[in-house]
Amino acid sequence: MRAEARAEAQAEARTAAQTDRLRAMALCTAFLVPLGLLHAWVLAEVGIGLTDLLFLIEMARRRDLSWARKPWFIAAMLWWVWLVFCSDPLMFTTASWRLGLVEAVVVIRMLLFAVALQHWVLTTAASRRFAWWILALSCLWIGLESWEQYLTGRNIFGDRRFGDGALTGPFFKPRAGALYAHLLFLALLPPLMAIYGKGRVWQIAGLALAVLGVVTSVLIGQRSPTILVALGLVTAAFFYPQFRRIAVIAAIAAVAFLAATPIISPRTYAKLIGETSRQVAHFALSPYGQIWTRGTVMGLASPLHGWGYNGYRALCPQPRFGAGLPELGLAPTQLALGACNLHPHSYYIQSFADAGFPGLILFVILIAIWFKTLASGLLQKPDPVRAGVFIGFFTFVWPFETTDAFPTLYMLGWFFFILGLGLALADASANIIAERAGSPDPGPRLKSEPNHA
């Protein structure tokens, strides 16, 4: 009996060691993703693919399918299967192109990456802290490079600000604004809440940090990201009453900085005020108004199954989609005004054009499940990292935002990394609440892993 017990213990030790090795490898590949998204997209793709593979290997070894029964993952699978179905050119003559089917199929890699982070990779407090540090330092890097480009005329790579006046930060194109807006409150809230209430000097330091973070967004000079930062201020103030005074002062400072841009940064003023006022006054004739109208017309032209993944990109120039929406008073769209682009610049219009009303409904349901999961318990205990993640998620899915295509790598790689971290934090919070209430642990975790946030 002792020999059998010893053999069993040795087998369990070998299994645990193998699990630890696989998970250590997955941590390395997952943490490569944000670094790759900054400056080496191929590295990010490799990181996502390897993380997915290691996750599936471990789940198969453990014979664990509980991750596949998560409500959000079931909703995601329904949406994905419908999208692939609608993208099959053999099934629908309306499907845009054969490559669109391949692109729809590989969307699953992003969904697997998020569930791998939630269910396995980020199930310990140390791994979640490290993930936060990576995201916070990425935000800091973008902010520092934006100021360097403003003060010296070039970023560290020698790139000047973009032709429309926007600062590009560490990038060569105007990509800094949106990413900075999504990461700002995730990076800002934890240190700000940590020093709040520790004395007047610390309060002044926290206020200066918040003002600098918000003003940097204005300095970058991209319109939608600046609006997203304002949305983030409102959301943070909703979660933290003590943050409201800071939010008001930061907003006033941002407005004052914007008012000074005709002197300190005329090109920022021309972008944020001049061009914005013109586009708002004639939004239907602006490029975004034209794109959204044309994308909606495409969805209405095939309301059951749309035009397949990237159908807008492939078929938009066809004259039949230029009718406009006379019921809403929107005139016919024109290619000369920018009615066609690489994507519809809206996740919701894209899902409608790609997969019709069923695709749009399934996509909205998926967003709603994510929203509910990430927001669960935040009002009762607004943990600053969870609140920052929620704001990052909220600014991504805000329906009135101009977006990249869903889920192409550059911006959506960040989205799914943030989402995976948020889902892991929600699970950890639920585990703590359940244990304090004396109820069974609601989520699976490795026996060797600590059960704390």
Q: With contact defined as beta carbons under 8 Å apart, do 179 and 414 qualify?
A: yes
Tens digit of pLDDT for each residue in 240-267?
Answer: 888 899 999 999 999 999 889 888 888 8
Confidence check: pLDDT of 442 > 70: no
Tell me the average pLDDT across 306-311: 92
Q: How many residues would you count in the chain?
A: 453
According to the model, what pLDDT value does residue 94 have?
Answer: 61
- Which two structure tokens, joined as six digits, stand for 394? 């909220």
pTM over 0.75? The answer is yes
**Phi and psi, residue 197, nearest 5°:** 85, 10
- What percentage of residues in the chain have a pLDDT greater than 70? 89
**120-129, 353-362, 397-406 — which is least confidently predicted?**
397-406
Q: Is residue 199 part of a domain?
A: yes
Give 36's contacts (C-beta < 8 A, 6+ positions apart): 42, 43, 44, 45, 46, 47, 413
Split at pLDDT 50, 70, 90, the class of 86 is very high
Q: DSSP characters for 407-434?
A: T-HHHHHHHHHHHHHHHHHHHHHHHHHH
- Other CB atoms within a 10 A radius of the CB of residue 66 amount to 11
Closest by CA position to 446, among listed 10, 23, 9? 23
Q: According to the model, what pLDDT value does residue 452 have?
A: 33
Tell me, what's the pLDDT at 18?
61
166: left (phi over 0), alpha (psi -120 to 50) or beta: beta
Confidence of residue 4 (pLDDT cuts 50, 70, 90): low
- Give the pLDDT mean for 89-111: 82
Owning domain of residue 39 = 2-64+107-281+376-437
Whole-number pLDDT of residue 348: 97
User: Is residue 204 in a domain?
Assistant: yes
DSSP line for 109-155: HHHHHHHHIIIIIT-SHHHHHHHHHHHHHHHHHHHHHHHHHHHHSS-
DSSP 48-93: HHHHHHHHHHHHHHHT--GGGG-HHHHHHHHHHHHHHHHT-TTT-T
Query: What pLDDT is attached to residue 443?
Result: 44
Asked if 109 and 100 touch (Cβ cutoff 8 Å), the reply is: no
Cα–Cα distance for residue pair 295/318, rounded to 1 Å: 12
Quick: pLDDT tens for 383-441.
999 999 999 999 999 998 889 999 888 899 999 999 999 999 999 987 765 555 554 44
Domain count, the chain: 1
Nearest CA to 272 out of 174, 166, 154 is that of: 166
Residue 325: strand pairing partners: 330
Give the model's confidence band at 356: pLDDT under 50 very low, under 70 low, under 90 confident, else very high: very high
Q: Output the pLDDT for position 446.
A: 39
DSSP states along 148-202: HHHHHSS-TTSPPPPTTS---TTSSSS-HHHHHHHHHHHHHHHHHHHHTTS-HHH
Per-residue confidence (pLDDT) for residue 1, from 0 to 100: 55
Is the confidence at residue 78, as pLDDT, over 60?
A: yes
pLDDT at 434: 57
pLDDT at 448: 37
Task: Kindly state whether residue 452 falls inside one of the protein's structural domains.
Answer: no
What's the average model confidence in pLDDT over 194-209?
A: 87
Residue 44: band (very low, low, confident or very high) from pLDDT cuts 50, 70, 90: very high
Task: Look at residue 80 and tell me if it is in a domain.
Answer: no
Does 110 or 433 have the greater pLDDT score? 110
Residue 450 lies in a domain: no
pLDDT of residue 132: 97
- Which residues, 6+ apart, have CB-to-CB distance to 295 below 8 Å? 312, 316, 344, 346, 349, 350, 352, 353
Q: Please, what is the average pLDDT of the chain? A: 88
177 within a domain of the structure (yes/no)? yes
The percentage of the chain sitting over the pLDDT mark of 90, rounded to a whole number, equals 67
- Give the integer Cα–Cα distance in Å for 364 and 175: 26
Q: Is residue 97 part of a domain?
A: no
**Residue 324 included in any domain:** no
Q: Which two tokens stand for residue 177?
A: 């604004």
Residue 385 vs residue 5, higher pLDDT: 385
pLDDT band per the 50, 70, 90 thresholds, residue 284: confident
Report d(CA 405, CA 390) in Å as an integer. 21
The reported pLDDT for the residue numbered 97 is 61
Res. 163 pLDDT band, cuts 50 70 90: confident
